[in-house]
Amino acid sequence: MSNIAKRFISSLLAGALFFGSYLYFPLIYVVLMVAIFAEILILEWPRLVDVRTLRGALTTALYPCVPMASVLYLHYAYYDLHKLIPLYPFIISWVFDIAAYLTGTTIGHHQITPRTSPGKTWEGLFGGFAAVFFLNSILFYRTSGIIIVVIASVVITLVAFAGDFFESRFKRNAGVKDSGTILPGHGGFLDRFDSVFFVAPAVAVFLLFEELVLWLVVGSVVGAS
């Protein structure tokens, strides 16, 4: 079986399990995510970082533990408010990854980081941005306007790319191609969550900031009255 066929089949099965549990069985989704995070921490991350050292332990506390906590926080805080909010970091990151991969492998020639990740090209980055902009336009144009859509798309693209590059740097230093082998054709879970693990904290920080601003505004209005 070709690598493309493996990627397609594993993506289909994993996607059905992920989205099915998220939409219809939220408790199973949480258990599934905790199990995935445990697999990353126990089996995949130690391939990239020596967690027995102080530096490795501190790195692990920041990444991937903070991103994992961000994913679970978004689900806990916003799932009942709007199911799209906790799902957004996954959807937008995977849209970016897929578009960047397809564009880069099709027309990509100008490498961004030849030494760290030769497969990443400027064409792929712009292809990823175009897909992110398209999806954000569908989701937010009517409520936020084109300027916010453009700014959000640029930020998300840069953050998602940074997440991908960040993990690639660790893999390059460790001398491995993939973080694991649990997903045929893809590698490990961390290989599929690298962009998500940067986007999720960014979304969580933005929402917390928005709530803080709203709280201050409401507080000042109530105090003035």
Whole-model pTM: value is 0.91
- For 107-158, write each residue's pLDDT tens digit: 988 899 887 788 889 999 999 999 999 999 999 998 889 999 999 999 999 9
- Residue 42 pLDDT more than 70? yes
pLDDT of residue 3: 64
Closest alpha carbon to 180 in 172, 170, 191 = 191
- For 160-215, write each residue's pLDDT tens digit: 999 999 999 999 889 998 999 888 878 899 999 999 999 999 999 999 998 888 77
Name the pLDDT band for 32 (thresholds 50, 70, 90).
very high
Place of tokens 């990239």: 48
> DSSP per residue over the chain, as a string?
--HHHHHHHHHHHHHHHHHHHHHH-HHHHHHHHHHHHHHIIIIIHHHHS-TTSHHHHHHHHHTTHHHHHHHHHHHHHHTTT-THHHHHHHHHHHHHHHHHHHHHHHH--SEEETTTEEEEEHHHHHHHHHHHHHHHHHHHHHHH-HHHHHHHHHHHHHHHHHHHHHHHHHHHHHT-S-S-SSBTTTB-HHHHHTTHHHHHHHHHHHHHHHHHHHHHHHHHHHHH-
pLDDT of residue 48: 95
Single-letter code of the amino acid located at 170: F
Single-letter code of the amino acid located at 182: I
pLDDT of residue 86: 96
pLDDT of residue 1: 63
- Residue 221 pLDDT more than 70? no
* Residue-averaged pLDDT of the chain: 91
pLDDT of residue 90: 97
pLDDT of residue 225: 62
pLDDT of residue 126: 96
Radius of gyration over alpha carbons of the chain, in Å? 19
What whole-number distance in Å separates Cα of residue 209 and Cα of residue 201?
Answer: 12
Tell me the domain boundaries of the chain. 3-213
pLDDT of residue 22: 96
The share of the chain scoring above pLDDT 90, in percent, equals 74
- Give the 3-state DSSP-derived string for 163-223, with helices as H, strands as E and coil as C: HHHHHHHHHHHHCCCCCCCCECCCECHHHHHCCHHHHHHHHHHHHHHHHHHHHHHHHHHHH
Residue 55: other Cβ atoms inside 10 A: 10
Single-letter code of the amino acid located at 127: G
The share of the chain scoring above pLDDT 70, in percent, equals 95
pLDDT of residue 163: 95
pLDDT of residue 103: 95
pLDDT of residue 152: 94
